[in-house]
Structure 1
Amino acid sequence: MPNYNMRGVQFLTDNEGNKTAAIVDLKEHSEFWVDVLAECGEPIDFQFLVDGEGEKIAVVLEFEKHGELWEDVYDSLTIESRKDEPRVPWEEVKRQLEKKGMLNV
């Protein structure tokens, strides 16, 4: 997994430094979490961090249990973080790949 700095996400690691889970800030990513709940219903196997009033403020996504969901979260966050990057037309990308021998036409 690339090491992007993802706003509103922190990682848990094991004693060898391997990422094992992500903590997703629900205030930062509330719209995404609403979509998750709409798709899968109220989750019962997630761990949450709560504030002093008992409000859920973050969800812990364990990669072993929630790997598929994490992939969706990761993709969505990556897309969101890159939305303002300049676009490169497909023809230019194609030319560059052909020049590097990475695309055979």
Structure 2
Amino acid sequence: MTLRPVDLTKIKAKIPNLYEAVVVAARRARQINDEYKLEFNTLLNTIVTSNDEEFEDKENPEQLKLALEFDKREKPQIRAINELLNEGIEYRYKEQ
């Protein structure tokens, strides 16, 4: 996996306060992660598994394939930063 640095001036162009941008991106990354978890668990429940106790330690190829597919996806924090830079994430402050 290659690391790709993010130019902070690009982030500051979208959101003037850099710390605010980090908080917004972090919250969006958590939302994306929750979406991934929900989708993974939903798909995992559709996979038919054997109820035999002797096969409990064996790998399920369908489950492994699904896990590898989700592992290849863009990581939530990278996706959140890209959304922040390219599309712009709309956010607002809580009412006092």
Q: Same fold (TM over 0.5)?
A: no
Q: Hey, which of these two has a bigger chunk of helix by percent?
A: 2
TM-score where L is the length of structure 2: 0.27
Select the structure with the greater relative contact order (CA < 8 A; seq sep ≥ 6). Answer: 2
TM-score where L is the length of structure 1: 0.25
